[in-house]
Structure 1
Amino acid sequence: MRVHVVSDVHGRADALPAAAEGADAFICLGDLVLFIDYRDHSRGIMGDLFGAEAVGRMVELRTAQRFDEAREWSRSLWARLGGDRTRIVEDAVRRQYAQLFAAFPTPTYLTFGNVDLPHLYPEFLREGITLLDGQAVDIGGWRFGFVGGGLRTPMRTPYEIDEDVFAAKVVALGEVDVLCCHIPPHLPELVYDVTARRFERGSAAILAAIHDSRPRYVLFGHVHQPLTARLEVGATRCVNVGHFNARGTPFVLEW
């Protein structure tokens, strides 16, 4: 059995077909949307709306962890633009989702990332594309559990939830062979981003599940440039499957 796993797609619909070649099943761990491209500020929803210079200023503030100033800068940009912000953003996200969901192979199993808009997913699901969040499924004789979204942060991205809500989804899975989630377990080596120079939010509930039920693998993304991409915790191999937007290649799991 061969399963290809990606995360943090951020608009790379063009790379999905090649990433699925040779796979018996395809898994996506979320963050489909590209709001801001930290390398090319002209790309993404914000770049399209406000231009590279304005987005560059926002990236500068976020990188310096001046989040209140970044939000104020964002508010000033939207005030100049006018119009219904929610409608403008959702229309832009829908355009990205249409391309991305059309590029998914079948079968694909996916969950949400912290920058996704979960209420829009049902518009784009089709036969062979299975959405899972706090649920498990059998793939090739192994049990795969899925937990989507992120935990609350100063960034205030669209799908951040409280720790108890996230933990309840982890517990609902029961014992699994592979735990698939968008964010990593709460371990310093796995949550530190060496380029952003900050610790991202990891999940204590995922770490507890590793100690309690010892899955074979925990697969995740979220941290784009991790200090450590792979780490063994007892019998469990924790793997950051990579920043697909930058790499364009999947993590391959075979058994």
Structure 2
Amino acid sequence: MILVVSDVHGAFDALAGIASTGETLFVLGDLANLTDYRTGEGAVATALGIEFAKDTAKARGEGDFDEMRRLWRSHPGDLDQVRSSIEGAIADQYKLMSPVLEGVEGYVIHGNVDRPNHLIKALPSSFRYVHGECVEIGGLTFGFAGGGVATPLQAPGEVTDEEMEETLAGLNDVDVLCTHVAPAIDPLRTDVITGRQERSSDPILRFIRKTQPRLHLFGDIHQPQASRWRIGATRCVNVGYFRATGRPFRLDPASL
């Protein structure tokens, strides 16, 4: 059995619970908790205070990037120092992650709020960062493509459409495609809480239509209108918002 999670966002106690089962673990990005939109908790709150975190979370949740830029520019701190403080808070989160994954056979890609350089440094030797790679398990080929869709924020965990296309082209034909972001299918990218269509990936949708993997696993959309969809022969599954649910998606390779 393979356990698959996404959007851990700092819920490392819950992650420890499933990591201790001894089963292979996939983490499809967003281990870091930049800001929990529900509570304001996260790296921004640690570095800049909970009220500022709540204000920026509200703007981000509404997709108001102009307001986000205004808030960041209005902060009295030096911008480079602010960024450094947030990077440090995220790096500290990864330090809490490391012992949880120690000795666990697993594979991880980064999500949009992750900092790939800090994530890679914190991974124990048993856990592989596999962005742009293929892994053979149980006679199946799993292809991994991390990163979030590019936004005006230009966060380190984001990738452009061109970068995603290049990554996917390097995977060739796979049995199971694993990404952080959703394909550009409206019910899969619509968040029923915010009522908005979140950013999703046209390159991933084109790759699925062209190569037709048996299964596509992803996360990123926390409260999707639809968590499952079919694109031709490909079954698409949002594996869930792990920080909120604490539940993994269970995949039996023999069932595919």
TM-score higher than 0.5 here? yes
Name 2:95's counterpart in structure 1: 98
Counterpart selection for 1:135 from 102, 116, 133:
133
The Cα of 1:20 is off from its aligned counterpart by: 3.2
Q: 1:86 to 1:54 in 2, by over 3 A?
A: closer
Q: Specify every segment of 5 or more residues in structure 1 that has no aligned partner in the other structure, as ranges.
A: none
Closer, same or farther: CA 56–122 of 1 in aligned 2, 3 Å: closer
Superposition pairs of residues 103-118 of structure 1, within 5 angstroms: 103-104=100-101, 106-118=104-116
| Equivalent-residue separation in structure 1 for 2:156 and 2:80 (angstroms) | 20
Separation (CA, whole Å) in 2 of partners of 1:82 and 1:151: 24
Partner Cα separation in structure 2 for residue 227 and residue 61 of structure 1: 21
Cα drift, residue 155 of structure 1: 4.8
Q: Identity of paired residues, percent?
A: 38
Match for residue 37 of structure 1? Answer: 36
What is residue 182 of structure 1 aligned with on the other side?
A: 180
Structure 2 gaps, min length 5: none
TM-score for both structures, normalised by structure 1: 0.92
1:214 Cα offset (Å): 1.4
SS in structure 1 at match of 2:30: coil
Q: TM-score, normalised by structure 2?
A: 0.91
3-state secondary structure, aligned to 2:128: strand
Q: Residues 19 and 100 of structure 2 are in contact (CA less than 8 Å); yes or no, is this contact kept in structure 1?
A: no
Letter in 2 for 1:14: D
Q: Give a deviation string over 1:76-128, Cα, whole Å, max 9, x none.
A: 23x24787223212221111001113212521100010111112223212221
Deviation, 1:23, is 5.4
Q: Name the aligned partner's letter for residue 30 of structure 1.
A: G
Alpha-carbon RMSD: 1.8
Does residue 26 of structure 2 align to residue 27 of structure 1?
A: yes
- What amino acid is aligned across from residue 37 of structure 1 in structure 2? D
Cα offset, 1:172, TM superposition: 0.7
Q: Which amino acid aligns with 1:84?
A: Q
Q: Distance in 2 between matches of 1:166 and 1:235?
A: 22
- Secondary structure, aligned partner of 1:84: helix
Between 1:235-244 and 1:206-215, the stretch displaced more is: 206-215
Alignment partner of 1:84 out of 55, 62, 81: 81
Secondary structure of the corresponding residue to residue 184 of structure 1: coil
Give the aligned partner of residue 243 of structure 1: 241
8 Å CA contact 1:4, 1:23 repeated in 2: no
Is 1:109–1:129's contact at 8 Å kept on the other side of the alignment?
A: yes
Structure 1 CA distance for aligned equivalents of residues 109 and 11 of structure 2: 17
For 1:78-227, what aligned pairs fall within 5 Å after superposition?
79-80=76-77, 84-104=81-101, 106-227=104-225
Aligned residues of 1:185 and 1:206 also touching (Cα < 8 A): yes
Which letter does structure 1 place at the counterpart of 2:26? Answer: I
Q: How far apart in 2 are the matches of 1:52 and 1:87? A: 18
Correspondences of 1:11-22 after superposition (within 5 Å): 11-22=10-21
The answer as to whether partners of 1:7 and 1:242 remain within 8 angstroms in 2 is yes
Q: Residue 239 of structure 1: CA displacement? A: 0.3
The amino acid of 1:44's aligned partner reads G
Q: CA deviation at 1:211?
A: 1.8
> Which whole-Å CA distance do the structure 2 matches of 1:75 and 1:37 have between them?
21
Letter of the 1:50 partner, please give it: L
CA-CA distance at 1:190 after TM superposition: 0.7
**How much has 1:22 moved relative to structure 2?**
4.1
Deviation larger for 232-241 or 101-110: 101-110
